[in-house]
Structure 1
Amino acid sequence: MRKIALTLLVLVAFALLWGEDSKQATIGWLSISKAESLSRANGKPMMVYIYSNGCAWCRKFVRKTLSDPNIVKLVNEKFVPTKVNLSSNKTVRFHSKTIKEKYLGRVFLVRGTPTTVFLQNADSIIAKLPGFINHNDFQLVLKYIGDGWYKDMSYRDFVESEKKLKSSK
């Protein structure tokens, strides 16, 4: 009887712990066509995460950066997020055209993965960031673009002002 009770206790504890992990917030990815129309409607910048199957740096970017709770919160609040898989033959609609997802890399002039592209009103490129970016640097980029600082100052000036703010606290 004690063995059964102990086994049940261990199973319940494991289920509770596993349940906590599964409740971790995630980015609310949308299809590219839905993201495009929503960005145009609400004025939020689009964040396009471009990846490919088998890309080790893409997996690391997802695991280390895009899973960070602060990053998830910023992306969900300030952007219209979408993903593009350059390994996919799936047909999508973007800019009123039907195109295979793998060819969207050409639209954004992407040469490698991972690449993150930020678009204003789903049209003009605000920034294109190739490669893996750690969560601290990516958080600065998200604040810079998400809060509209890119309209008034260079990224370098923004980073300097953020450093000054942190050192004054």
Structure 2
Amino acid sequence: MKKLVFIGLLLLAANFAQAQDKIEWLKFEEAVAATEANPKMLLVDVYTDWCGWCKKMDKETFTDPAVIKYINEKFYAVKMNAEDNKRTFDFKDKEYTEAKMAGAMRVQSYPNFVIIDPTLMNITQLPGYRQPVEFLDGLSQIVDKGIGAK
């Protein structure tokens, strides 16, 4: 019996460790639903397929263990393609594509990280490529200010 409990705990720990090896990206509407149920800020990574700096963020910054842990703990993370006019979703009784939402958030350069408070009312932007430490510093300043915190 003790072996079974030990194995169960070991599997649980392995599952938790595995869950922290990447950012848990959601669709915008999934993140909105999640924050309505359990309030957290949204971190929206607005990118394009042709953006080299966006790819560098994915490859270098978003694979950093400290960045992964911080984002998964503090935010609901969203990937949003600023040129996608196909996929639609509803937000505040309006229909959007990812491109239309990026425009509504006034994103004009890539990569751009839009942080939305838990009330889904106030946003701030963190534009441009950033290395892991610099990115964490920018995010933590926003979190510490608690934009629109309840």
Please identify the structure whose Cα radius of gyration is greater. 1
Distance 1:141 1:40, change over 3 A: farther
CA distance in 2, matches of 1:60, 1:75: 17
The aligned residue for residue 10 of structure 2 is: none
Distance 1:123 1:97, change over 3 A: same
Alignment of 1:134-145 (within 5 A): 134-145=131-142
CA distance in 2, matches of 1:131, 1:45: 20
The aligned residue for residue 68 of structure 1 is: 64
Alignment of 1:76-115 (within 5 A): 76-89=72-85, 90-115=87-112
Residue pair 1:114, 1:130 contacting (<8 A) in 2 also: yes
Counterpart amino acid of residue 145 in structure 2: Y
Query: Over residues 23-45 of structure 1, what are the superposed CA-to-partner deviations in whole Å (9 max), with x where a residue is unaligned?
Result: 67111011101101212332211
Greater share of helix: 1
Query: Over residues 32-79 of structure 1, what are the superposed CA-to-partner deviations in whole Å (9 max), with x where a residue is unaligned?
Result: 011012123322111011001111010011111111111011000111
Structure 1 unaligned blocks of 5 or more: 1-22, 153-169
Tell me which of 36, 40, 54 is aligned to 1:40: 36
The aligned residue for residue 6 of structure 2 is: none
User: Structure 1 residue 31 and structure 2 residue 33: aligned?
Assistant: no
Instruction: Give the TM-score normalised by structure 2.
Output: 0.77
CA distance in 2, matches of 1:25, 1:83: 17
Counterpart amino acid of residue 34 in structure 2: L
Residue pair 1:74, 1:142 contacting (<8 A) in 2 also: no
CA distance in 2, matches of 1:80, 1:87: 22
Task: Provide the secondary structure at the position in 1 that maps to 2:69.
Answer: helix
User: Offset of 1:151 from its aligned partner?
Assistant: 4.0
Higher mean C-alpha displacement, 37-46 vs 63-72: 37-46
Question: How many equivalent pairs are there?
Answer: 127
RMSD: 1.8
Distance 1:144 1:97, change over 3 A: same
Counterpart amino acid of residue 122 in structure 2: S
> Percent identity between the aligned chains?
31
Instruction: Give the TM-score normalised by structure 1.
Output: 0.69
